[in-house]
Amino acid sequence: MKSIGLIGGLTYVSTIEYYRYLNELANEKLGGTETVQIILYSVNFGEIKVLTEAGEWGKISDIICKVAQTIERAGASCLLIGANTMHKIADEVQAAIKIPVIHIAEAVAKAILKNGLRKVGLIGTRYTMQLEFYTDHLAKHGIETIIPDQEDIEYINYTIYNEFSKNIFTAEAKTNYLNIISKLKERGAEGIIGGCTEISILIKQSDCDILIFDTAKIHSEAGVEYVTGS
């Protein structure tokens, strides 16, 4: 079987979700006790967080590209970058390696279109919501994106970096996120992208009356499809 390369540690919390999803989804496809071969390189999130907040995308790119090259040399047939925000540098990473980088926004766009939606709300880090690398990618598929107001953007960003990254998920945060989702729905969102891979730990589909796109799962599905050929 081909191996999936995974850049993890962005955060360790979501990396656990990726590992679980990749193996569960592979087992569903392959049956028996089959799972998937994963080449995982886990980076230091503390270092990445500091550079992200400083806007040092060039330094982040240097780190992630070197990691991607290490994973490629180890024999991976494709690469998943285990975070929505880090797809800000996906093009640079792809230029540094020969194996395909499976882009999370591309996989999410396909899932949105498969469900017949054209207007969605996006919640994630402020970089994912406000820098255009993610929304532009969706727009290429004819998908309109709505983001929260500035106060909610700052709240979401704070909880991701200071709570979710440390595996802290509170009832208060869940209530606040559901209120934010409700406001996006009122503005016309037909579905909600959990544009941070930890959000699906806090907010489940059963919590909402609007379709929630679990980006870690969708991204993992794309990786499994690539290596299994189905």
- Per-residue pLDDT tens for 167-186? 999 999 999 999 999 999 99
CA distance 197 to 217: 9
Calculate mean pLDDT across residues 219-224. 98
At 208, which CATH number? 3.40.50.1860
Asked whether residue 170 falls in the same domain as residue 210, the answer is: yes
Q: Which residue has the tokens 């191996």?
A: 3
Residue 230 clears pLDDT 80, i.e. is over it = no
Asked whether residue 118 falls in the same domain as residue 69, the answer is: no
Asked whether residue 141 falls in the same domain as residue 77, the answer is: no
Tokens of 160: 């991701």
Instruction: Determine the distance from the C-alpha atom of residue 157 to the mean position of all C-alpha atoms in its chain, rounded to a whole number.
Output: 14
Asked whether residue 96 falls in the same domain as residue 111, the answer is: no
Residue 204's domain comprises 105-214
Dihedral sign (CA 168, 170, 175, 176): negative
Sheet strand arrangement including 78-81: 37-42, 3-8, 78-81
Q: pLDDT value at position 1? A: 74
Asked whether residue 91 falls in the same domain as residue 123, the answer is: no
Residue 92 clears pLDDT 90, i.e. is over it = yes
Residue-wise pLDDT for 9-52, tens only, equals 999 999 999 999 999 999 999 999 999 999 999 999 999 999 99
Number of domains in the chain: 2
Asked whether residue 116 falls in the same domain as residue 173, the answer is: yes
Asked whether residue 130 falls in the same domain as residue 92, the answer is: no
Asked whether residue 182 falls in the same domain as residue 199, the answer is: yes
Q: Answer whether 78's CB lies under 8 Å from 100's CB.
A: yes
In the predicted model, what is the mean pLDDT of the chain? 97
Asked whether residue 75 falls in the same domain as residue 33, the answer is: yes
Neighbours of 2 (CB within 10 A): 14
CA distance 86 to 216: 13
Listed residue (55, 136, 53) closest to 91, CA to CA: 136
Tokens of 129: 């919501």
Asked whether residue 7 falls in the same domain as residue 85, the answer is: yes
Instruction: Please state whether beta strands 144-146 and 119-124 pair in parallel, antiparallel, or not at all (unpaired).
Output: parallel
Dihedral sign (CA 204, 27, 72, 15): positive
Listed residue (112, 68, 127, 99) closest to 226, CA to CA: 99
Residue 126 clears pLDDT 70, i.e. is over it = yes
Asked whether residue 68 falls in the same domain as residue 110, the answer is: no
Asked whether residue 69 falls in the same domain as residue 138, the answer is: no
Q: Answer whether 121's CB lies under 8 Å from 191's CB.
A: yes
Tokens of 103: 């882009």
